[in-house]
Amino acid sequence: AQSVTQLGSHVSVSEGALVLLRCNYSSSVPPYLFWYVQYPNQGLQLLLKYTSAATLVKGINGFEAEFKKSETSFHLTKPSAHMSDAAEYFCAVSAKYGNKLVFGAGTILRVKS
């Protein structure tokens, strides 16, 4: 079985500051890991995914995440926050392709000017 824990339901950063959103997973098999973003009143958009290739994954909008097996983590980072990054971010895990995604509770990112 898989599960995801996102530490911090709300994160607030200043514009230009580092963004760090935390995600820890539990999986009985090698996981596939994803970050999705949800803007207000919109669906889920894929930011990036880990599929057992490179452990450092780069995604859209300047985001990246690093898979750390020893820490069972897949934290999302961006060096410099922009106002347009304000949204809710979901970490998700899947056991293999075609399988269901198991989502974390989400982290709402607020960017202050």
Partner 1 sequence: EPEVTQTPSHQVTQMGQEVILRCVPISNHLYFYWYRQILGQKVEFLVSFYNNEISEKSEIFDDQFSVERPDGSNFTLKIRSTKLEDSAMYFCATAKLAGGSTDTQYFGPGTRLTVL
Contact residues for partner 1, defined by CB under 8 A: 32, 34, 36, 42-46, 49, 51, 90, 92, 94, 96-106
Q: For residues 39 and 82, which CB has a smaller minimum distance to partner 1 in the complex? A: 39
Q: For residues 83 and 96, which CB has a smaller minimum distance to partner 1 in the complex? A: 96
As a whole number of angstroms, the distance between CA 35 and CA 12 comes to: 18
Is residue 88 packed enough to be buried (19+ CB in 10 Å), middle (13-18) or exposed (0-12)?
A: middle
Cβ at position 87, least distance to partner 1 in Å: 14
Q: For residues 81 and 91, which CB has a smaller minimum distance to partner 1 in the complex? A: 91
Is residue 17 packed enough to be buried (19+ CB in 10 Å), middle (13-18) or exposed (0-12)?
A: middle
